[in-house]
Structure 1
Amino acid sequence: MGWVVVVSVLVMTVLSLLRVNVIIAIIIAALSAGLMAGLSVVESIDMLVSGMGGQANTALSYILLGAFAVAISYTGITAILVNYLIRTLTGKKTMMLLAIAGVACLSQNLVPVHIAFIPILIPPLLKLFDEMRMDRRAVAVALTFGLKAPYIMVPAGFGLIFHGILVDGMVQNGSALTKGEAALSMLIPGSGMIVGLLVALFITYRKNRDAVPEAGGTGSIITAPASTKNVTFTKQHLLTIIAIVAALTVQLITENLIAGALTGLILMFLFIAVPFKSGDKVVSDGISMMGTIAFVMLVASGFGTILSETGAVDGLVEVSSGFLGNNKAAIALILLLVGLVVTIGIGSSFGTIPILAALFVPICMAAGFSPMATAVLIGTAGALGDAGSPASDSTLGPTSGLNADGKHNHIWDTCVPTFIHFNIPLILFGWVGSLIL
């Protein structure tokens, strides 16, 4: 059964590279997996739909985060940041890219809006990118780094959730591990992402490159703000910052994105930072901005359900590890590659961890890996494929902003560059980390 995962993921990847819509590509890949596993077309569709609920929490949180981000932008506070970047970093490509990566990092913990900030911040900068002849692939890599590296290395915000899922998955399958040990172990593979970012910015995409009109089709559903005129800091902006802090606090206490986003959104209206009469527009704009991404995540969850429920993932792990004996180096490498294949198909590192933990822990214990080494393997295998997957929010988010004018292709300008620069070093650093801990 293990070949079902490989073939279905290849189907999705090839269709995506041929520029088939990502939702259609995932559905076809899911149906092909079901058929190869012995299900009928109707049974495959039913399992796909039933599995979509697995990411319902994530999808709803993205919608609310989108509305929260729109509400924040309504106050004009994001224009202050945009104007600052334009004023201080025009002509300084490397510094601009590092600043964008830094802002993306903050979206994972300090201002927990995740990818929802991208369609607000990036479109106003596209004209500047073109004037500077900046390679948009470098921007995509910088954004994906900021969306992914913090949750791998920092146990706060989204990282707190990721590390919690990792620890719970290991404990439930008989391997003791603390959150502190998980955070320490994930610093090694996370360091690989830093190397990948530096290679992309200083070597691969350092040269000038003109954006290609209609490279991404007709453009995304996001429309760049019409104006980024100078905005002075006001009481409204102070109240907005208070709402952001409250959203972060609630999210950290409850470890629930929906609760945090809802808190921030409600406070924006209570503080009248956003007028009540604009409530419908804020929410509808949030849905239009994040709805496509949320739906891709739902369909990807259904795909993941077919792969796991039919036993295809179990079969892949058994086939991959069964003939390796006690060769720890070979076992570690194979498990990481299995994680890469599975996560590219499912598109969610957070959703992949519980599946991989149930399969990896018994194998790692039998092979003599320490709990921290096992954590490196599971955490890295889960994170692998998040960058580079057509169905991942870490790639869909950057494309949603960079393709606002139709000049950025999701697969060739986001997925392929992020796959090369992050998955390769993650495999290398994760593999080494699993052998030295």
Structure 2
Amino acid sequence: MTAVVVSVLIMCALSMLRVNVLISVLVAALSAALLTGASMTEAMNMLIAGMGGQAETAISVVLLGIFAVMIQYTKITNILVRKLLSFLKGRRGFIVMTIAGISCFSQNLVPVHIAFIPILIPPLLHLFDKMKVDRRAVATALTFGLKFPYIIIPAGYGLMFHQIIQTEMKNNGMTIGIGQVALSLLIPGLSLVVGLLIAVFFTYRKEKDAPAAVGVEHDLASAEVSATTEEVQFNRQHMITLIAIVLAVVLQVITHSLALGALAGVLVMFIARVVPFLKGDEIVDNSMKMMGNIAFVLLVASGYAAILKETGAIDQMNAVTEGFLGDSKFMTALIILTIGLVITMGIGTSFGTIPILAAVYVPLCLTAGFSPMATAALIGAASALGDAGSPASDSTLGPTMGLNADGRHDHIWGTCVPTFIHLNIPLFIAGLVAAMIL
């Protein structure tokens, strides 16, 4: 086996043994470097140098976390939750599907990515427990909403995803229009809907009690979560909060920077005294507890990706697989999707996987006779594979962050395993189908 495969297996094994995700990714990254002959010092230097690749994402996550905590401070979420509770009317499947829909909006209509989760989900945990909603279904719905829009809708994060595919294909000798990229990803994208429906209405449809919380701290958190459903009247603070949210969204769209948008929202709320200046330290501390872990996991995952590139581990894996391809379109598609799954499971980013895959597999697709749309479907599906299920992906870290606010949800068995089964498997099959018929 190659260094990539071994290191990913190490990461997954450690994560399933409930070793901290950050430690698991760090050990996997260093293992990949050592397996390719690098020294421990060289491995650490490559890791640290590569962490800058996700610096913008990390600062965006932290600022969005601060913004989310400030929004929670105003208790405007109480109004949202009470309205949502009256609308949901007690049906478990309907609740989960509504959450999936709201999650989809976070990628396009209001492009805040995972920042909405700590605002929306913790106040609903008491309701989930009361109605015995299986949190694995909610995790699948949230991850679905974080993946489906960018795969299938050419707007917001989806436009960015499609543009990267188009650019990287062109850079490697294959031209395709942005509209064709969107059409090519219809089949892979729609497969996620099938996986979500199976999870919500079949696998996790039965009543399930939440496991016991761990420790007094989590019991207190649970009590705080239950208290967020108290009635709150709309006031001046809430109006300014809405203005800050709109400003943040507009700036994100104009500047294509989540960090600038979040920073603008934070400044508006401080300047307008919606959140007192003296509360600044408390707000930042709470946001770091909530989002700091995700930011550091993303940084280390970026260092892991750099190690895989610089040590030639990915090239080694590609060389091993080329012998299996031959002239078979089916085998070529199968290998491309499998490699995409392994890489993305390791580094946790579908967007960052596209350049890696395109550089190697566009020439192979040309040789095998795949059309540009079939190639785009393969690259899009292969890069998105593993985003669900990866312990290091923000698409799984985000849902866990919200669902574990009361200490009753496990990252691996509650989020990663269910999302891998219900989202990655359908996407893998659909990617194969799309490649063979387009």
**Which TM-score band (shorter chain)?**
over 0.9
Aligned partners of 1:219 and 1:403 also within 8 Å = no
The code of the aligned residue for 1:242 comes to I
- Please tell me the residue identity of whatever aligns with 2:85: I
**Alignment correspondent of 2:58:** 59
Is 1:47 the counterpart of 2:46? The answer is: yes
User: 1:395 and 2:396 equivalent?
Assistant: yes
- The residue that corresponds to 1:169 in the other structure is 168
Give the deviation of 1:259 after TM superposition.
2.2
Q: Equivalents in 2 of 1:248, 1:221: separation in Å?
A: 33
In the alignment, the residues of structure 2 paired with residue 325 and residue 163 of structure 1 have an alpha-carbon distance, to the nearest angstrom, of 29
**RMSD across aligned C-alpha pairs, in angstroms?**
2.2
- Cα distance in 2, alignment partners of residues 366 and 160 from structure 1: 28
Q: Counterpart of 2:411?
A: 410
Counterparts in 2 of 1:217 and 1:159: CA distance versus 1, 3 Å: farther
Partner of 1:200: 199
Tell me how far 1:72 sits from its aligned partner.
2.3
Aligned to 1:22: 21
User: 1:373 is aligned with what amino acid?
Assistant: A
**Quick one: distance in 1 between partners of 2:381 and 2:312?**
22
Structure 1 consecutive aligned stretches of length 4 or more whose deviation exceeds 6 Å: 215-218, 220-223
| Native 8 Å contact 1:221 1:289 kept in 2 | no
Return the offset for 1:270.
Answer: 4.2
Q: Is the 8 A contact 2:345 2:390 kept in 1?
A: yes
Q: In structure 2, what residue type is equivalent to 1:32?
A: S
Asked if 2 retains the 8 angstrom alpha-carbon contact of 1:215 and 1:409, the reply is no
Name the SS for the 1:323 alignment partner: helix
Shift of 1:264: 2.6
Cross-structure match for 1:257 = 258
Aligned 8 A contact 1:216 1:408 in 2: no
Unaligned runs of 5+ in 2: none
Give distance in 1, aligned partners of 2:235 and 2:333.
54
Q: Deviations over 1:124-170 (max 9, x none)?
A: 22121111111111111111111111111112222222222222222
Amino acid at match of 2:432: W
Aligned CA distance change for structure 1 residues 53 and 141 (closer, same or farther; 3 Å):
same
Aligned match of 2:12: 13
* Cα offset, 1:101, TM superposition: 0.9
Q: Distance in 2 between matches of 1:278 and 1:178?
A: 50
| Cα displacement (A) at 1:8 | 0.8
Alignment partner, residue 426 of structure 1: 427
Aligned to 1:147: 146
Q: Quick one: structure 1 residues 52 and 428, their matched pair in 2 at CA, closer, same or farther if it must change by over 3 Å?
A: same
Letter in 1 for 2:166: V
Partner of 2:378: 377
* SS in structure 2 of the partner of residue 388 of structure 1: coil
Tell me how many residue pairs correspond in the alignment. 436
TM-score (norm 2): 0.94
Partners of 2:29 and 2:379 lie apart in 1 by 24
Give the aligned partner of residue 233 of structure 1. 234
TM-score (norm 1): 0.94
Closer, same or farther in 2 for the Cα pair 1:180/1:261, shift >3 Å? farther
1:149-199 Cα deviation digits (max 9, x unpaired): 111111222222222222222222222223222222222211010000000
Q: Which amino acid aligns with 2:330?
A: A
- Please give the alpha-carbon distance, in whole angstroms, between the structure 2 residues aligned to 1:346 and 1:217: 34
Residue identity (%):
60
Structure 1 range deviating more: 138-147 or 313-322: 313-322
**Is the alpha carbon distance of 1:154 and 1:269 closer, same or farther for their aligned partners in structure 2, counting shifts above 3 Å?**
farther
Instruction: For 1:410, give the aligned amino acid.
Output: H
- Contact 1:16/1:390 (<8 A) preserved: yes
> How far does residue 370 in structure 1 lie from its aligned partner after superposition?
1.7
**Structure 1 residues 232 and 416, CA, compared in 2 at 3 Å: closer, same or farther?**
same
